[in-house]
C-alpha cells in the first residue's frame, strides 16, 4: 500500500456522559468512513471526557465506559476502518488510561499510557497507573477478549503497522513511539488531552514534527476539545497530522463543533527513508529488546485508495522551491552561501586569484557569475580577477549577448569577447564536416571550442574555470561531453534548473543597479537554449531546449521523486498527474517521463566523471557522494513499467 488515509477526529463531549460522548464518536466514525478513512483517531479519554477527576474511580463511570465501548464496537461493524478511542480500563485493582483499537465489530487491542504526569496542573497519578510492563489479556462485558499491552503493533494485511502513545508519552525524553517505530510502526497515533497555554501550541507542533522526523513515520494527533471542564483548564481541540518532519494538516483551534483533519500518508516514502538511512536500522539493533519485544496484532482489510482517486496529500509541482514565500530570502541566502563557501575554499587552497567563466546570457552562467563575484567579495579579492568570457557563435542572439555584456559591466569584472565562428569553421574543414548540416557534430564542436578557450584563458590568468552546468542538465545528460560538461569547479552542480531561475530572480530583487536588475529579469524570461543553431530570420532564438527534452519543471519533479524517495515510474506518474493537473495533460506528462528515464540511464557516463562542486540540497548526483550507478545499468525494467502505463 503506497498511501494510507488517516483522520484526527475531535468530538464534542459532555463530562462523564458516556452515552452522549459515544453518540458523538459514532457519528464522526460514520462521516469519516464515508470519506474513505482507513484509520480514525479520537482524543484521550474521549469516551468519558478527560476532566472527570475523582469520578475515574467511581464504578458507575467505569461501567458506563465499558458499555459505551460495546456500542462503539457494534457500530464499527458498518465499516472496515480502524478506530482508536480513549477510555479507562481496570485491571488488577488499577485504572489505566488506554487507547483502544476497534475494527469491524471487534476490539483489536488496547495500549495503556506509559508516562502518567503528576506536576503543575496534571494530577493523573491520582487516578491512573503507568502502563509500563503491562502485558495481559482482558475481557469486558459485550466485547471480545483482547490484549492490553504497552508493546503492541497493529498490522493491516498490506503490512502497514500502527502504534499508539498517549499525551505525556510524547513529551518524555524517549517516547514509546521511538521504540515502536524501530519495531516497524509506520504510523504513530497520539490520543491527547493537552490543555492550551500561551506559546504551548507552537512548541507542540515542533515536538510532533520532530518526532515524526526522528521516527521516519507519520504522526496522527488528536486532542480534547470543546465540552471538557473549564474549572481550571481550557482545551482547544487540536487535530494534527505530520509525516517525516512535515506538517500535513492541522485543524483550526477553538472550534465548538466536532471537527477533523484527514490526510493520505505516503507509506512508500517512509519505507524508502528507513531503508536508505541505515542509522535507523542501527538504532533498532542498539535498542535491542526495547524494540524487539512488540507483539503484532493482525487487523482485517482496511479501505484502500483507488488509483484514479485524488490523494489527500499535497505534492508541490516545484519541490526544489520553498513553498513559504516568507522563507524565500532565508533559503536563497543559505543556498548562495553554500555555493560561495565551497568556491572560496577551492580558491584559497589552490591559491587562485582568478576565475574564468563563459558568460552566455543564459540562466546557468548568470548564476555562476553572481556566485563567483560574491565569493570574491567575501575573500576581499578584486572583482577584476573574475574573467567573464563571452563567445558569440552561430546561434548567439542579440538578446543574450547584450544581457551578458550588461551584467558583466554592472558587476565590474574583466570582460573578454572571443568569437568562436572562425575557429569552428576551420575545425569543420579539418574534420571534413559540412557546416550547413546542423547535427550533433555541428553543435558539440561549438561547445568544445568554448571549453578549450576557457581552459586556455584560465592558464593565461593563472585561474580556474568555473562550471555553469546545473543539476537538471546532469540528470538529462544535456551537456556536451568534455565541453560544457567539464570545468575545474562546478558551483551549480546540485542546483536544478527551476531553482536556478528562482535564485537569479532573487538576486535581481536585491540589486541596486537598475540596468543589472533589468538584465537579470530578462535572463529569467529568456527561453532556455544552448544557442548552437542559427537564430530565426527575425533574430529570435530558434533552438528551445524545453521543446527538445521537455519542460524542466516536469523533469525536476521526476528527478526529485526518483532520487529522494526511490519512486517507480508508476508512482511518479500518479503524483505528477495530481501536481500538474490543469497544467499538462496526462499524455504529455507520460511522454516526458519516458524521456526522463531514457536519458537518465543513458547519460550516466557523463555523471561518472563530474568535476567537484558543492551539494546545496537533498538531491545530488555526484559520483563521489549521493549517487553511484554503473554507466551501463539497464533501464529495461523502468521503461517496461512506463509502457504498461500507456496501455
The arithmetic mean of pLDDT across residues 547-574, rounded, is: 96
Position 369 pLDDT exceeds 80: yes
CA-CA distance, 99 to 111, in Å (whole number)? 5
pLDDT in tens, 416-465: 999 999 999 999 999 999 999 999 999 999 999 999 999 999 999 999 99
Domain ranges across the chain: 3-298, 325-646
State yes or no: is 44 an active-site residue: yes
Dist CA 534 CA 93 (whole Å): 89
Give 348's pLDDT tier (boundaries 50, 70, 90).
very high
Residue 407 confidence (pLDDT): 96
What value does the mean pLDDT take over residues 366-372? 98
Query: How far is 556 from 504, CA to CA, in rounded Å?
Result: 17
167-191 pLDDT, tens digit per residue, is 999 999 999 999 999 999 999 999 9
Q: What angle do CA 295, 298, 303 make, to 5 degrees?
A: 140
539, pLDDT greater than 90: no
In this chain, the answer to whether the domains covering 3-298 and 325-646 adopt an identical fold is no
Q: Does pLDDT of 121 surpass 80?
A: no
| Cell numbers for 142 | 459485550
Distance of alpha carbon 411 from alpha carbon 150, whole angstroms: 65
% of the chain beyond a pLDDT of 70: 99
At 1 the pLDDT is: 61
Of the candidates 66, 98, 167, 620, the residue annotated as catalytic is 167
CA–CA separation, 498 and 492 (whole Å): 12
What are the backbone angles phi and psi of residue 60, rounded to the nearest 5°? -60, -45
Catalytic residue among 18, 24, 44, 493: 44
3-class secondary-structure state, position 147: strand
Reported confidence tier of residue 647, pLDDT bands at 50, 70, 90: low
Catalytic residue among 113, 497, 542, 606: 113
Check residue 313 and give its pLDDT.
Answer: 95
Q: Which CATH number fits domain 325-646: 3.40.50.620, 3.40.50.10860, 1.25.40.340, 3.40.720.10?
A: 3.40.50.620
pLDDT of residue 323: 79
Residue-level pLDDT at 61: 97
Domain spanning 3-298, CATH architecture: 4-Layer Sandwich (3.60)
Predicted confidence at residue 390, as pLDDT, reads: 98
Q: Which residue has the cell 507542540?
A: 204
Mark whether 167 is an active-site residue. Answer: yes
Q: How far is CA 522 from CA 114, 425, 475, 483, in A?
A: 61, 31, 26, 26
Amino acid at each position: 500500500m503506497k498511501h494510507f488515509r488517516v483522520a484526527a477526529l475531535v468530538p464534542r463531549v459532555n463530562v462523564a456522559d458516556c452515552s452522549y460522548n459515544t453518540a458523538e464518536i459514532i457519528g464522526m466514525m460514520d462521516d469519516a468512513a464515508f470519506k474513505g478513512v482507513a484509520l480514525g483517531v479520537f482524543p484521550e479519554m474521549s469516551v468519558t471526557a478527560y476532566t472527570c477527576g475523582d469520578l475515574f474511580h467511581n464504578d458507575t463511570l467505569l461501567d458506563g465506559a465499558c458499555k459505551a465501548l460495546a456500542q462503539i464496537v457494534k457500530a464499527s461493524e458498518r465499516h472496515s476502518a480502524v478506530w482508536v478511542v480513549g477510555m479507562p480500563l481496570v485491571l488488577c485493582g488499577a485504572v489505566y488510561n488506554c487507547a483502544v483499537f476497534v475494527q469491524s465489530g471487534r476490539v483489536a487491542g488496547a495500549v495503556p499510557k506509559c508516562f502518567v504526569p503528576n506536576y503543575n496542573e496534571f494530577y493523573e497519578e491520582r487516578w491512573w497507573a503507568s502502563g509500563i510492563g503491562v502485558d495481559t489479556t482482558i475481557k469486558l462485558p459485550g466485547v471480545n477478549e483482547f490484549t492490553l499491552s504497552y508493546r503492541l503493533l497493529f498490522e493491516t494485511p498490506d503490512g502497514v503497522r500502527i502504534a499508539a502513545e498517549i499525551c505525556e508519552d510524547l513529551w518524555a525524553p524517549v517516547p514509546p513511539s521511538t521504540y515502536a517505530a524501530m519495531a516497524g510502526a509506520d504510523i504513530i497515533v497520539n490520543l491527547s488531552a493537552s490543555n492550551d497555554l500561551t506559546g504551548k501550541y507552537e512548541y507542540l507542533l515542533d515536538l510532533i514534527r520532530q518526532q515524526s522526523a526522528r521516527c521516519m513515520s507519520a504522526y496522527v494527533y488528536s486532542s480534547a476539545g470543546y465540552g471538557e471542564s473549564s474549572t481550571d483548564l481550557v482545551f482547544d481541540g487540536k487535530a494534527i497530522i505530520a509525516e517525516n518532519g512535515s506538517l500535513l494538516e492541522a485543524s483550526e483551534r477553538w472550534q465548538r463543533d466536532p471537527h477533523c483533519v484527514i490526510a493520505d500518508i505516503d507509506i512508500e516514502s517512509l519505507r524508502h527513508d528507513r531503508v536508505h538511512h541505515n542509522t535507523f536500522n542501527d538504532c533498532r539493533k542498539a535498542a535491542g529488546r526495547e524494540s524487539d519485544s512488540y507483539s503484532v496484532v493482525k487487523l482485517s482489510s482496511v479501505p484502500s485508495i483507488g488509483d484514479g482517486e485524488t490523494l489527500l496529500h499535497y505534492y508541490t509541482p516545484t519541490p526544489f522551491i520553498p513553498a513559504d514565500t516568507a522563507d524565500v530570502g532565508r533559503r536563497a541566502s543559505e543556498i548562495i552561501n553554500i555555493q560561495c563557501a565551497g568556491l572560496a575554499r577551492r580558491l584559497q587552497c589552490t591559491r587562485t586569484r582568478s576565475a574564468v567563466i563563459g558568460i552566455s546570457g543564459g540562466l546557468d552562467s548568470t548564476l555562476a557569475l553572481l556566485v563567483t563575484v560574491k565569493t570574491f567579495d567575501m575573500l576581499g579579492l578584486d572583482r577584476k580577477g573574475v574573467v567573464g568570457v563571452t563567445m558569440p557563435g552561430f546561434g548567439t542572439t542579440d538578446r543574450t549577448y547584450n544581457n551578458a555584456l550588461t551584467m558583466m559591466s554592472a558587476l565590474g569584472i574583466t570582460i573578454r569577447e572571443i568569437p568562436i565562428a572562425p575557429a569552428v569553421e576551420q575545425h569543420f574543414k579539418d574534420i571534413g564536416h559540412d557546416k550547413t548540416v546542423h547535427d550533433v557534430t555541428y553543435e558539440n564542436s561549438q561547445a568544445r571550442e568554448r571549453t578549450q578557450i576557457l581552459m586556455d584563458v584560465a592558464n593565461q590568468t593563472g585561474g580556474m574555470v568555473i562550471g555553469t552546468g546545473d543539476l537538471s542538465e546532469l540528470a538529462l545528460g544535456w551537456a556536451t561531453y568534455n565541453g560544457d560538461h567539464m570545468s575545474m569547479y562546478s558551483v551549480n552542480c546540485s542546483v536544478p534548473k527551476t531553482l536556478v531561475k528562482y535564485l537569479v530572480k532573487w538576486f535581481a530583487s536585491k540589486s541596486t543597479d537598475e540596468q543589472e536588475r533589468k538584465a537579470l529579469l530578462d535572463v529569467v524570461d529568456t527561453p532556455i537554449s544552448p544557442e548552437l543553431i542559427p537564430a530565426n530570420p527575425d533574430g529570435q532564438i530558434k533552438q528551445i531546449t524545453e521543446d527538445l527534452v521537455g519542460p524542466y519543471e516536469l523533469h525536476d519533479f521526476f528527478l526529485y521523486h526518483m532520487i529522494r524517495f526511490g519512486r517507480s515510474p508508476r508512482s511518479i506518474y500518479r503524483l505528477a498527474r495530481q501536481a500538474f493537473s490543469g497544467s499538462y495533460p496526462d499524455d504529455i506528462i507520460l511522454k516526458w517521463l519516458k524521456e526522463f528515464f531514457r536519458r537518465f540511464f543513458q547519460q550516466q557516463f557523463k555523471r561518472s566523471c563530474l568535476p567537484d562542486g558543492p551539494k546545496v540540497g537533498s538531491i545530488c548526483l555526484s559520483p563521489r557522494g549521493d549517487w553511484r550507478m554503473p554507466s551501463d545499468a539497464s533501464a529495461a525494467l523502468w521503461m517496461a513499467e512506463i509502457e504498461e502505463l500507456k496501455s
